[in-house]
Amino acid sequence: SQSHSPTPGAPTWPRPPQPPLHCGYNLPSMQCLLPPSLCVSIADPAVISPQDPTLLIGSSLVATCTVSPDFHLGAEDLYWTLNGRRLPAASYATLGPTTLSVALAHLNGSKQQSGDNLVCHSRDGGILAGSCLYVGLPPEKPVNISCWSKNMKDLTCKWAPGTEGETFLHTNYTLKYKLRWYGRDNTCQEYHTAGPYSCHIPKDLALFTPYEIWVEASNRLGVAVSDVVMLDILDVVTTDPPPDVHVSRVGDLEDQLSVRWSSPPALKDFLFQAKYQIQYRVEDSSEWKVVDDVGNQTSCRLAGLRPGTVYFVQVRCNPFGIYGSKKAGIWSDWSIPTAASTPRSERAAGGCDPKGGEQNTTLRRELKQFFGWVKKHAYGCSNLGIKLYDQWRVWLQKSHKARNQVGKEPFTLLSLPWGGQWGAGGGLCGARTRWLRGAPFISAGASRR
């Protein structure tokens, strides 16, 4: 027979070896295989009391299991399990010939929200009856209600459950709202639109009159009501991100980019005082730089950028002061990132000048060969190598940029930042220094230690 490889936590499903003994009524006759005399209509084998109780954490419970007389079992043939684990016989008590009780003390919160499974078994392990225990705490007041309206058309609210959340029991949340000076309570219907603790009110919202909003949490043990939040729809307006974001170069300027966008269409006619924000980052960084003081223009120029770099740019909008509201609205989402690159600088050292590149490759090759030779034949030159040469070139670039040593020797061997390395090597490669002085890439001013 086929066997399924078990996934963790999932039961394996053995093929049913033979047809189960049951009577199908309301089935096509071909499926009711057994003659009626062999099918016995079985009443519930046993009854547990209390059946499906709800209890506070820490409380105690005495449950009884009474076997039906049809089953010819006595109290001594019974045992209990809770969530699959056998309960100790010490906690049992025989209350009658067919009744066995069990005492449970200091109950912990239910292991699963469908209830803990307290089961009465016959000696051979068969299940006679079961009762689901719901052990938990009453709900806590929901907190942190916050709402926003998209383009003044709807209202979405979210909240947080009190403490860590569901108190072992399934908790139902209901968001209610009413206009401040009108009587009727309304109930929000569309839940989970913005996360598990959220609700969406799609229509029939009034402007200019504040709303009172609250959340009720209820479970089997009670109800808790949050504090009432009062808000005016116009104070919590948000809108779509600005569309048509374009980022382009500013002529040949290598450190600037120009950003343009459109006003979000849904509120286009009302956004006289909209505020915008831009954020940008370099391609391979995760750090965004934010430009705050964009005002209500729909264009902006970014300056102080790196040449020859790809930038990602996003814009968002705040419908500030809509309909004369004195408050800021809520920032929209960021627009989808737009990419653009600054022009590459011509003057940067080590630029992509092909002629220079060729020279560099030949030079590097020669240098590598040279250093290899030096290592073999000179003593104490272990630090000398192509890496050192590269470090020198980087340093050279930096000092060229600083441009404050025009006319001076760009370096001396002693002023090199890694002078210590040389020192550790016991001086500049011993007696060969004189030879080095004459090498073409070291300026004539190289002094010896």
Partner 1 sequence: MLNVAGELSGDSWGIFTFLCAALCNLPALPALNCTEELGPGHSIQKTYDLTRYLEHQLRTLAGTYLNYLGPPFNEPDFNPPRLARAERVPSATVDLELWRGLTDNARLAANYRAYSRVLCSLRALDAQGTAELRHRLGHFCSSLQGLVLSIAGVMSSLGYPLPAGPPAQPPAQAGAAATNDFLKKMDDFWLLKELQTWLWRSAKDFNRLKKKVPPAVVTLRMEARGF
- Site of interaction with partner 1 (CB under 8 A): 2, 4, 6-7, 9-16, 19-28, 30-31, 33, 39-45, 48, 51-52, 81, 83-85, 111-117, 119, 126-127, 129-132, 170, 192, 196
Give CA–CA dist 243/315, Å, rounded: 9
For residue 198, the minimal CB distance to partner 1 (Å) is 12
The DSSP output letter for 83 is T
| Residue number with CB closer to partner 1 (2 or 37) | 2
| Residue number with CB closer to partner 1 (64 or 277) | 64
For residue 104, the minimal CB distance to partner 1 (Å) is 16
| Whether 42 contacts 67, CB under 8 Å | no
Residues 6+ apart with CB under 8 A from 81: 87, 117, 118, 119, 121
User: What is the three-class DSSP state of 129?
Assistant: strand
| Residue number with CB closer to partner 1 (85 or 203) | 85
Rounded-to-5 percentages of helix, strand, coil across the chain: 20, 30, 50
For residue 190, the minimal CB distance to partner 1 (Å) is 15
| Residue number with CB closer to partner 1 (126 or 202) | 126
Q: Which two tokens stand for residue 44?
A: 């519930």
Q: How far is CA 38 from CA 23, 42, 134, in A?
A: 9, 12, 39
For residue 21, the minimal CB distance to partner 1 (Å) is 8
For residue 91, the minimal CB distance to partner 1 (Å) is 19
For residue 110, the minimal CB distance to partner 1 (Å) is 8
Give CA–CA dist 202/333, Å, rounded: 20
| Residue number with CB closer to partner 1 (166 or 212) | 166
| Residue number with CB closer to partner 1 (126 or 350) | 126
| Residue number with CB closer to partner 1 (159 or 211) | 159
Nearest to 341 by CA among 220, 258, 227: 258
The 85-86 sheet, strands edge to edge = 54-56, 127-136, 116-122, 78-82, 85-86
Give CA–CA dist 257/199, Å, rounded: 41
| Residue number with CB closer to partner 1 (188 or 436) | 188
For residue 211, the minimal CB distance to partner 1 (Å) is 27
For residue 136, the minimal CB distance to partner 1 (Å) is 14
**Which stretches of 50-192 are assigned E, i.e. beta strand?**
54-56, 61-67, 78-82, 85-86, 92-96, 99-104, 116-122, 127-136, 143-150, 155-160, 172-179, 186-187, 190-191
For residue 279, the minimal CB distance to partner 1 (Å) is 32
Q: What is the DSSP string of 341-375?
A: EPPPPSSSTT---HHHHHHHHHHHHHHHHHHHHHH
Peptide bond before 161: cis, by omega within 30 degrees of 0? no
| Residue number with CB closer to partner 1 (21 or 303) | 21
Nearest to 201 by CA among 184, 189, 212: 189
